[in-house]
Structure 1
Amino acid sequence: MSFTIKLAGTPYEFQAEASETILQAGDKAGFLLPSACRSGACGACKAQVLSGTVALGPHEPFALTEADQKLGLTLLCSAKATSDCEIKVRDVKLAQKKPEGVQAEIVEKTLLDPSIMRLVLKRADGALFEFKAGQTYAVELPGNQKRYYSVASSQNQKETVEFLIRKVTNGMFTGMLFSDMIRVGDKMRLKGPEGTSTFQTPKGRKAVFLATGTGIASVKSIVSTLVENNDLEGRELFIYWGVRTSQELVVGEIFEEWAAAHPQIHYTGVVSREDTWPGAKGHVQTFAAADNGDMTDMDAYLCGSNSMIKAAVNYLTARCGLREDHIFMDNFGF
Structure 2
Amino acid sequence: MTEIRIEGSEQSFTCAPSDSLLAGGLRAGLGMPYECTAGACGTCKFELLEGDVEVLWDDAPGLSARDRAKNRKLACQCRPLTDCRIKIRFDEACMPQVNPLKQTATLIATNEITHDIREFRFATDTAATFRPGQFATLQLPGVRGTRAYSMSNLPNGKGEWHFQVRRVKGGNASNTLFDQLHVGDQITLDGPFGMAFLREDSARDVVCIAGGSGLAPMVSIARAMASTGQLASRRLHFFYGARTQRDVCGEALLESLPGFGERIRFYPSVSSTQEQDAPRWSGRVGFIHEYVEEIMGADLHGHDYYMAGPPPMIQAVLDTLQTRHMVDKSQIYFDRFF
Please give the range of the TM-score, normalised by the shorter of the 2 chains.
Answer: 0.7 to 0.9
Q: What residue in structure 1 maps to residue 169 of structure 2?
A: 169
Residue 13 of structure 1, CA deviation? 2.3
Give the TM-score of the pair, scaled to structure 2: 0.75
Q: Whole-Å Cα distance in 2 between the matches of residues 77 and 322 of structure 1? A: 30
Q: Whole-Å Cα distance in 1 between the matches of residues 332 and 45 of structure 2? A: 15
1:281 matched to 2:306? The reply is no
Q: What residue in structure 2 maps to residue 68 of structure 1?
A: none
Residue 37 of structure 1, CA deviation? 2.2
Equivalent residue of 1:296, what SS? helix
Q: What residue in structure 2 maps to residue 315 of structure 1?
A: 320
Q: Whole-Å Cα distance in 2 between the matches of residues 323 and 163 of structure 1? A: 30
Q: What residue in structure 2 maps to residue 112 of structure 1?
A: 113
Deviations 1:275-314 (A, max 9, x none): 6211122111111111212423422112000110111111
Q: What residue in structure 2 maps to residue 325 of structure 1?
A: 330
Q: Is the 2:5–2:11 contact (alpha carbons within 8 Å) kept by the matching residues of 1? A: no
Q: Whole-Å Cα distance in 2 between the matches of residues 14 and 185 of structure 1? A: 36
Q: Whole-Å Cα distance in 2 between the matches of residues 151 and 245 of structure 1? A: 24
Q: What residue in structure 1 maps to residue 306 of structure 2?
A: 301
Deviations 1:58-96 (A, max 9, x none): 6699xxxxxxxxxxxxx97699xx985363314264288
Change in Cα spacing, 1:116 to 1:193, as seen in structure 2 (3 Å) is same
Change in Cα spacing, 1:218 to 1:263, as seen in structure 2 (3 Å) is same
Equivalent residue of 2:147, what SS? strand
Deviations 1:177-231 (A, max 9, x none): 222x211111111111111110115443122111101101001111111211222
Change in Cα spacing, 1:238 to 1:47, as seen in structure 2 (3 Å) is farther
Change in Cα spacing, 1:39 to 1:92, as seen in structure 2 (3 Å) is closer
Q: What residue in structure 2 maps to residue 103 of structure 1?
A: 104
> Given the alignment, which residue of 8, 22, 25 partners 2:21?
25
Deviations 1:16-61 (A, max 9, x none): 9xxxxxx952224544645332468769x58999xx9xxxx96699
Equivalent residue of 2:232, what SS? coil
| Residue ranges of structure 1 left out of the alignment (5+ in a row) | 17-22, 62-74
What is the letter of the counterpart of residue 248 of structure 1?
D
Q: What residue in structure 2 maps to residue 214 of structure 1?
A: 213
Residue 14 of structure 1, CA deviation? 4.0
What is the letter of the counterpart of residue 152 of structure 2?
A
The alignment yields a C-alpha RMSD, in angstroms, of: 3.6
Q: Whole-Å Cα distance in 1 between the matches of residues 191 and 168 of structure 2? A: 22
What is the letter of the counterpart of residue 91 of structure 1?
A
Q: Which moved more, 1:155-164 or 1:300-309?
A: 155-164
Q: Is the 1:103–1:190 contact (alpha carbons within 8 Å) kept by the matching residues of 2? A: yes
Equivalent residue of 1:178, what SS? helix
Residue 260 of structure 1, CA deviation? 5.4
Q: Is the 2:305–2:331 contact (alpha carbons within 8 Å) kept by the matching residues of 1? A: yes
Change in Cα spacing, 1:161 to 1:297, as seen in structure 2 (3 Å) is same
Q: Is the 1:46–1:90 contact (alpha carbons within 8 Å) kept by the matching residues of 2? A: no
Equivalent residue of 2:118, what SS? strand
Residue 154 of structure 1, CA deviation? 1.7
Q: Whole-Å Cα distance in 2 between the matches of residues 60 and 270 of structure 1? A: 34
Equivalent residue of 1:328, what SS? strand
Q: What residue in structure 2 maps to residue 198 of structure 1?
A: 197
Equivalent residue of 2:229, what SS? coil
Residue 129 of structure 1, CA deviation? 1.3
Give the TM-score of the pair, scaled to structure 1: 0.76
Q: Whole-Å Cα distance in 1 between the matches of residues 302 and 45 of structure 2? A: 23
Equivalent residue of 1:293, what SS? helix
Higher relative contact order (CA 8 A, sep 6+): 1
Change in Cα spacing, 1:136 to 1:303, as seen in structure 2 (3 Å) is same
